[in-house]
């Protein structure tokens, strides 16, 4: 095989996809430990202020350029003959190494007792953990998605990435239940057990899930290596070429708007339940289970029903999902304005079903809007867009709640306006998607030939 000959397309192997999906076990364990258990202990048990804890959790969003850089490096620089695997193991190794810092920081705060808020060493240990853990997550995220994409034939790439996302969504409640049974009441010793279990079990799956997936490249001549390095050496030039395409800019805008509108409710959903429909903590805690459970069921259903459809054909289901999400948010706005608790559950289930359809279609389109020659860089760009938009959306939801509540004095009206704006944002994202020539991008990057594009367009 010459340097100009593209590598043969890999066969679809469901067992290999199952192996890759086990990667999400470690991801779910780490996320639940960090963003559910640790912060709850810090705020509720130790009585520390919430804002520095929220700031630390959001710190990873500041490092999102690492995702683009890592994806680019995995496209252009092989380590030990491999493109993706070393970057994934390096990033996840950083996350495993960071785990003890989380336990040490909490140990300091517990020992400080009433003076915990002023324990500088404890805060520095927590900061070091989030810097190392967040950097490792972003360093490995884009190369992992690129590895999954590289490991399956083009018609199954959307299915593969959607399967991984579905696995993660399903694992979240499972891990949360296991951890909640493990530690019903706070115990520092039990927390340390969880930290070590996450580092060992999660680290093991992060290692085994990609072991042997990527084939080592054959040795090449020094001239061929130098030519390859020269072609991909300039990070700015590569990103400039990607961003110069209007379709890429439109897709990034669509992805950002949809993500922002979908996640603006994340920080204010439970306060809404308490302030507007007077539900207790146990009832509002179930909100996430309602919509995420519906999301998981919708994803599984569509994976079964539409698994043979090519990723290029997923624009209709993506727009349908956004429309259903908008309907769910509109119903939630109505529930806020009328203070109707029964309507809340219905609205969240509808939103979750739409989110499942949108996730399936959106991830498929994300695969299509990624060229083979710069897969890591493209997926890094999409990762940055999603993470930044999610962070901005969560912040805007909370900020708007404070501003509207102060200016109107009505919780129902305040939350109703926010949910209504989210519905409009989701409809705007659906309209924007209709303006993007995704089929043309697939044709121009050699993903499909012109005849296949015409057939896909006719089915839409």
According to the model, what pLDDT value does residue 76 have?
Answer: 72
Select the more confidently predicted residue: 42 or 333: 333
At 146, is the pLDDT very low, low, confident or very high (cuts 50, 70, 90)? confident
| pLDDT(282) > 60 | no
Mean pLDDT of 368-388: 78
Over residues 131-158, the mean pLDDT reads 83
Q: What pLDDT was estimated at residue 215?
A: 75
Chain centroid to CA 233:
28
- CA 432 from chain center: how many Å? 21
pLDDT tens, 283-338?
A: 665 777 788 788 888 988 887 887 677 777 788 999 999 999 999 999 999 999 99
How is residue 58 annotated by DSSP? G
Q: What is the mean pLDDT of the chain?
A: 81
pLDDT of residue 100: 96
**Average pLDDT for 19-40:** 84
Find out whether 356 and 296 touch, Cβ atoms under 8 Å.
Answer: yes
pLDDT at 422: 97
> Is pLDDT of 11 > 70?
yes
pLDDT reported for residue 225: 46
pTM: 0.69
Structure confidence at residue 367 (pLDDT): 81
On the question of pLDDT at 231 being above 60, the answer is no
Query: Average pLDDT for residues 373-401, to the nearest whole number?
Result: 79
Q: What is the pLDDT of residue 3?
A: 41
| pLDDT, greater one: 223 or 39 | 39
Beta bridge partners of 79: 82
- pLDDT beyond 70 at 459: no
Looking at residue 398, its pLDDT comes to 76
Residue with the two structure tokens 């989030």: 130
pLDDT of residue 101: 96
Report the candidate in 15, 13, 14, 19 with the shortest Cα–Cα distance to residue 205.
19
How far apart (Å, rounded) are the C-alpha atoms in residues 160 and 303?
10
Low-confidence winner among 204-208, 259-263, 299-303, 441-445 (lowest mean pLDDT): 441-445
Name 280's Cβ contacts closer than 8 Å, sequence gap at least 6: 274
Question: What is the C-alpha separation between 175 and 292, in angstroms, rounded?
Answer: 14
Judge contact between 398 and 78, C-beta under 8 A: no
CA–CA distance from 88 to each of 79, 145, 322 (Å)?
A: 11, 10, 32
Kindly state the average pLDDT of the residues 414-436: 95
Query: Quick one: pLDDT at residue 432?
Result: 95
In sequence order, which residues have a C-beta less than 8 Å from that of residue 357 and are 6 or more positions away?
298, 302, 317, 318, 320, 321, 324
What pLDDT is stored for residue 228 in this prediction?
A: 47
Helix (H, G, I), strand (E, B) or coil at 82: strand
Least confident among 15-29, 239-253, 296-310, 329-343: 296-310
378: pLDDT strictly greater than 50: yes
Cα–Cα distance measured from residue 307 to residue 163, given in angstroms and rounded to the nearest whole number: 10
**What pLDDT score was predicted for residue 427?**
97
Domains and their CATH numbers in the chain: 10-214 (1.20.1250.20), 236-460 (1.20.1250.20)
In terms of pLDDT, which residue wins out, 242 or 445? 242
pLDDT score of 88 more than 50: yes
pLDDT at 221: 40
Taking residues 273-288, what's their average pLDDT?
71
Q: What is the DSSP letter of 83?
A: S
The secondary structure of 407-441 as a DSSP string is: HH--HHHHHHHHHHHHHHHHHHHHHHHHT--HHHH
Phi, psi of 82, deg, nearest 5: -120, 145
Task: For the chain, give the percent of residues with pLDDT over 70.
Answer: 85
Tell me the per-residue pLDDT of 409-423, one tens digit each, with 9 for 90 and over: 898 999 899 999 999
b or e along 252-281 (b: 16 or more beta carbons within 10 Å of the residue's beta carbon)?
bbbbbbbbbbbbbbebbbbebbebbbebee
Task: Tell whether the model's pLDDT for residue 203 goes beyond 90.
Answer: yes
Mean pLDDT of 38-49: 74
Considering only residues 282 and 362, tell me which one the structure prediction assigns the higher pLDDT.
362
192-198: long-range contacts, CB 8 A cutoff, minimum separation 24: 192/103, 192/107, 194/33, 194/37, 195/33, 195/99, 195/100, 195/102, 195/103, 196/99, 197/29, 198/26, 198/29, 198/30, 198/33, 198/99
Task: In whole angstroms, give the CA distance from residue 442 to residue 232.
Answer: 22
Q: Does 386 have pLDDT greater than 80? A: yes
Mean pLDDT of 397-420: 88
Q: Is 10 left (phi over 0), alpha (psi -120 to 50) or beta?
A: beta
Residue 408 in contact with residue 218, Cβ under 8 Å?
no
């Amino acid at each position: 095989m010459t340097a100009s000959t593209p590598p043969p397309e890999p066969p679809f192997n469901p067992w290999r996809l199952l192996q890759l999906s086990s990667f999400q076990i470690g991801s779910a364990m780490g996320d639940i430990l960090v963003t559910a258990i640790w912060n709850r202990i810090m705020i509720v048990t130790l009585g520390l202020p919430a804002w520095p804890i929220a700031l630390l959790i959001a710190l990873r969003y500041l490092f999102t350029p690492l995702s683009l850089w890592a994806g680019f490096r995995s496209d252009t620089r092989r380590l030990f003959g491999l493109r993706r695997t070393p970057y994934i193991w390096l990033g996840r190794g950083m996350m495993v190494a960071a785990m003890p810092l989380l336990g040490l920081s909490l140990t300091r705060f517990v020992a400080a007792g009433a003076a915990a808020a002023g324990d500088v060493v404890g805060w520095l240990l927590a900061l070091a953990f989030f810097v190392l853990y967040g950097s490792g997550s972003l360093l490995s995220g884009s190369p992992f998605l690129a590895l999954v994409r590289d490991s399956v034939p083009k018609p199954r790439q959307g299915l593969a990435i959607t399967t991984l996302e579905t696995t993660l969504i399903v694992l979240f409640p499972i891990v949360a239940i296991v951890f909640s049974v493990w530690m019903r009441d706070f115990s520092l010793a039990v927390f340390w057990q969880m930290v070590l279990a996450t580092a060992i079990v999660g680290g093991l799956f992060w290692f085994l899930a990609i072991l042997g997936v990527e084939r080592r490249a054959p040795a090449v001549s020094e001239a061929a290596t130098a030519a390859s390095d020269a072609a991909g050496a300039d990070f700015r030039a590569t990103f400039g070429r990607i961003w110069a395409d209007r379709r890429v800019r439109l897709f990034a805008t669509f992805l950002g708007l949809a993500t922002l509108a979908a996640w603006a409710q994340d920080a204010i959903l439970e306060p809404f339940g308490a302030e507007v429909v007077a539900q207790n903590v146990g009832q509002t805690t179930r909100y996430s289970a309602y919509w995420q459970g519906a999301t998981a069921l919708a994803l599984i259903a569509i994976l079964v029903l539409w698994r043979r459809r090519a990723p290029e054909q997923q624009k209709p289901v993506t727009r349908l999902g956004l429309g259903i999400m908008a309907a769910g948010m509109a119903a939630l706005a109505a529930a806020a304005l009328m203070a109707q608790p029964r309507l809340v559950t219905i609205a969240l289930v509808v939103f979750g079903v739409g989110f499942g359809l949108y996730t399936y279609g959106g991830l498929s389109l994300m695969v299509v809007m990624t060229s083979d020659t710069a897969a890591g860089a493209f997926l890094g760009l999409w990762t940055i867009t999603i993470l930044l938009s999610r962070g901005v959306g969560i912040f805007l939801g909370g900020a708007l709640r404070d501003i509207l509540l102060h200016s109107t004095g009505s919780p129902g009206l305040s939350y109703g306006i926010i949910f209504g704006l989210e519905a409009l944002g989701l409809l705007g994202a659906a309209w924007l998607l209709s303006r993007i020539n995704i089929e043309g991008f697939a044709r121009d990057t050699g993903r499909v030939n012109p005849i296949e594009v015409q057939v896909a367009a006719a089915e839409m």
